[in-house]
């Protein structure tokens, strides 16, 4: 056993490295961003739903990719997306928190996330502004918001006592914490809010969420501005961190774009994307993954003075993007409903391949078999070396094999004619059907791949 163990370890090192990679942190996170209805927000748009590009850019700058989540879809679609993405961002906006398609879809993901996290399957959610308010509705089962007025204004945060051991603040660099305390770096655009009184009166809320900070609105009413769940990776901010680096409307004068404000936004993006890296969800293969990403869609730019960049989607027509007067020079993109979605339950492997959907789990099976083959070969080589080499000469043999590996691979003929071995004697390689064997002068054989 003195020889076989190091031999097997070294020769199967690539296998162990691969296994380590499999269990490592997910460095290719995909975060879903939920679409919402356009009514009341883009009344001139013929599209039904949209996502503001600033949310996409915000997540991408922290190292995530984004998958748009459509509304008015089936449970099967939401479950499929949930199993593939690594987190969900509920963006701000202006739709109903009770009966909009946005709220209905969010409820499905919220329930899926609670169930998954309870079973140890990590899945984070972040709600911004309207998304923050929607989280409180989903948790409480009712709307407990009050009227507030904080429109186009930025505040510092008023942190609550003991906030230092919260997950959001615990990893926060001191200069970011101080910036949030001192400067107007949290952009607010809301006319509703959750007051401390309403929060305290709701057992469903105060046992589920921990309030981290409060603020006073423009009329002096106090509201909760940031929360995190006690037992789940669910977070919410009444303010908009994404607007500091990415919203450039000239009619909005209350947003800070300076270095400090952008660093604060970067921290919140980094925090949430890092949470998403803890999720092991993934799509069946790269074809499935590629089909859902935001890169498949064309954003539309409004131009001055709004400088809006948005993604528009339809659930009632054959096109996701429309050309109209407000958004010129845009080309329509086929609606995903009219493209094969590559759902695992929709087809056999052969039909998946025919539709360009990849091989599903087949590459993983092939990889597993390959790893097993490597392990078996490594064991055989180790046994061969143990049988024909003493423990004293093993380091020399290994060193010789490594040193001459390139020469053996590039010049087999010369190697067979003879090379100087580890002990100074002539060594040649004897070729069989699949392998070469190291032949020492006394006829001892050592296998060389």
Do 213 and 157 form a contact (C-beta atoms < 8 A)? yes
Residue 191 lies in a domain: yes
- Among 172, 181, 266, 168, residue whose Cα is nearest residue 209: 168
Tell the residue number behind the tokens 């067979």, with chain if given: 416
**Euclidean distance between CA atoms 436 and 411, whole angstroms:** 13
Do 129 and 190 form a contact (C-beta atoms < 8 A)? yes
- Looking at residue 364, its pLDDT comes to 53
In this structure, what token pair is assigned to residue 398?
Answer: 């290994």
**Euclidean distance between CA atoms 266 and 62, whole angstroms:** 7
Do 225 and 268 form a contact (C-beta atoms < 8 A)? no
Order of strands across the sheet with 309-313? 36-37, 49-52, 309-313, 300-301
Residue 30 lies in a domain: yes
Q: Which residue in 129, 193, 342, 384 is the catalytic one?
A: 129
**Euclidean distance between CA atoms 299 and 321, whole angstroms:** 8
In this structure, what token pair is assigned to residue 90?
Answer: 């509920």
- Looking at residue 381, its pLDDT comes to 53
In the DSSP assignment, the letter for residue 126 is E
- Looking at residue 362, its pLDDT comes to 46
- Tell me the torsion sign for CA atoms 346, 347, 348, 350: negative
**Euclidean distance between CA atoms 102 and 128, whole angstroms:** 14
Q: What Å distances lie between residue 405 and 62, 71, 389, 401, 425, CA to CA? A: 42, 58, 19, 6, 18
Residue 286 lies in a domain: yes
Helix 394-403 and helix 4-11, axial crossing angle in degrees, nearest 10: 20
Secondary structure element (H or E) that encloses residue 144, with its range: none
**Euclidean distance between CA atoms 233 and 123, whole angstroms:** 7
- Looking at residue 368, its pLDDT comes to 64
**Euclidean distance between CA atoms 370 and 345, whole angstroms:** 27
Secondary structure element (H or E) that encloses residue 99, with its range: none
In this structure, what CATH number is given to the domain that contains residue 252? 3.40.50.880
Residue 434 lies in a domain: no
Domain that holds residue 334: 25-338
Q: Which residue in 190, 240, 281, 288 is the catalytic one?
A: 240
**Euclidean distance between CA atoms 123 and 325, whole angstroms:** 41
Residue 133 lies in a domain: yes
Question: CA-based angle 258:264:267, to the nearest 5?
Answer: 140
Question: CA-based angle 323:301:317, to the nearest 5?
Answer: 35
Tell the residue number behind the tokens 């695992």, with chain if given: 344
Residue 229 lies in a domain: yes
In this structure, what token pair is assigned to residue 70?
Answer: 């459509």
Q: Does 148 qualify as catalytic in the annotation?
A: no
Q: Does 21 qualify as catalytic in the annotation?
A: no
- Looking at residue 408, its pLDDT comes to 47
Residue 348 lies in a domain: no
Per the DSSP assignment, residues forming a β-bridge with 430 are 437
Domain count for the chain, please give it: 1
**Euclidean distance between CA atoms 343 and 286, whole angstroms:** 13
> pLDDT in tens for each of the 449 residues of the chain?
555 544 444 555 554 444 444 446 899 999 999 999 998 788 777 789 999 999 999 999 999 999 999 999 999 999 999 999 999 999 999 999 999 999 999 999 999 999 999 999 999 999 999 999 999 999 999 999 999 999 999 999 999 999 999 999 999 999 999 999 999 999 999 999 999 999 999 999 999 999 999 999 999 999 999 999 999 999 999 999 999 999 999 999 999 999 999 999 999 999 999 999 999 999 999 999 999 999 999 998 988 777 889 999 887 443 333 223 233 333 333 333 333 333 333 333 333 333 333 444 445 555 667 677 667 656 665 554 444 444 444 445 444 444 555 454 444 444 445 555 544 544 444 443 333 334 444 444 444 33
pTM score, whole prediction: 0.69
Residue 357 lies in a domain: no
Do 166 and 210 form a contact (C-beta atoms < 8 A)? yes
- Residues contacting residue 196 through CB under 8 Å, at least 6 positions apart: 211, 214, 222, 223, 224
Buried b (16+ CB within 10 A) or exposed e, 90-103: bbbbbbbbeebbbb
In this structure, what token pair is assigned to residue 349?
Answer: 């492997």
């Amino acid at each position: 056993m003195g020889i076989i163990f190091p031999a097997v370890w070294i020769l199967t090192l690539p296998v162990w490295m691969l296994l380590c990679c499999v269990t490592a942190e997910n460095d290719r996170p995909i975060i879903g961003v939920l679409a919402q209805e356009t009514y009341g927000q883009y009344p001139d748009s013929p599209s039904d739903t949209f996502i503001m590009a600033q949310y996409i850019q915000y997540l991408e700058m922290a190292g995530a990719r984004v998958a748009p989540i459509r509304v008015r879809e089936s449970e099967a679609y939401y479950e499929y997306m949930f199993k593939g993405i690594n987190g969900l961002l509920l963006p701000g906006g202006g739709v109903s928190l009770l009966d909009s398609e946005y709220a209905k879809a969010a409820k499905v993901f919220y329930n899926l996330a609670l169930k998954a996290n309870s079973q140890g399957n990590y899945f984070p959610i972040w709600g911004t502004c309207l998304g923050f308010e929607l989280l409180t509705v989903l948790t409480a089962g009712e709307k407990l918001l009050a009227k507030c007025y904080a429109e186009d204004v930025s505040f510092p945060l008023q942190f609550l006592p003991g906030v230092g051991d919260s997950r959001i603040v615990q990893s926060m660099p001191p200069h970011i914490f101080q910036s949030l305390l001192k400067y107007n770096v949290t952009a607010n655009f809301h006319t509703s809010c959750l007051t401390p009184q309403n929060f305290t009166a709701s057992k469903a809320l105060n046992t589920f969420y921990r309030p981290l900070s409060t603020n006073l609105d423009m009329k002096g009413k106090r509201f909760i501005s940031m929360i995190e769940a006690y037992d789940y990776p669910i977070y919410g901010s009444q303010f908009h961190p994404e607007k500091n680096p990415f919203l450039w409307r000239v009619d909005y004068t209350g947003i800070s774009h300076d270095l400090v404000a952008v660093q604060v936004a970067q921290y919140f993006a980094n925090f949430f994307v890092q949470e998403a890296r803890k999720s092991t969800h993934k799509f069946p293969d790269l074809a499935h993954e590629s089909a859902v990403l935001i890169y498949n869609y064309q954003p539309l730019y409004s131009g001055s003075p709004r400088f809006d960049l948005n993604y528009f989607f339809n659930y009632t027509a054959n096109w996701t993007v429309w050309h109209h007067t407000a958004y010129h020079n845009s080309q329509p993109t086929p609606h995903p409903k009219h493209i094969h979605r590559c759902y695992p339950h929709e087809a056999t492997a052969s039909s998946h391949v025919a539709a360009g959907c990849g091989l599903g789990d087949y590459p993983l099976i092939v990889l597993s078999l390959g790893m097993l083959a490597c392990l078996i070969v490594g064991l055989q080589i180790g046994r061969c070396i143990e049988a024909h080499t003493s423990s004293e000469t093993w380091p020399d043999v290994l060193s010789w094999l490594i040193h001459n590996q390139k020469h053996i691979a590039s010049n087999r003929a010369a190697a067979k004619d003879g090379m100087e071995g580890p002990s100074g004697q002539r060594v040649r390689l004897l070729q069989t059907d699949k392998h070469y064997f190291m032949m020492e002068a006394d006829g001892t054989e050592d296998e060389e791949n």
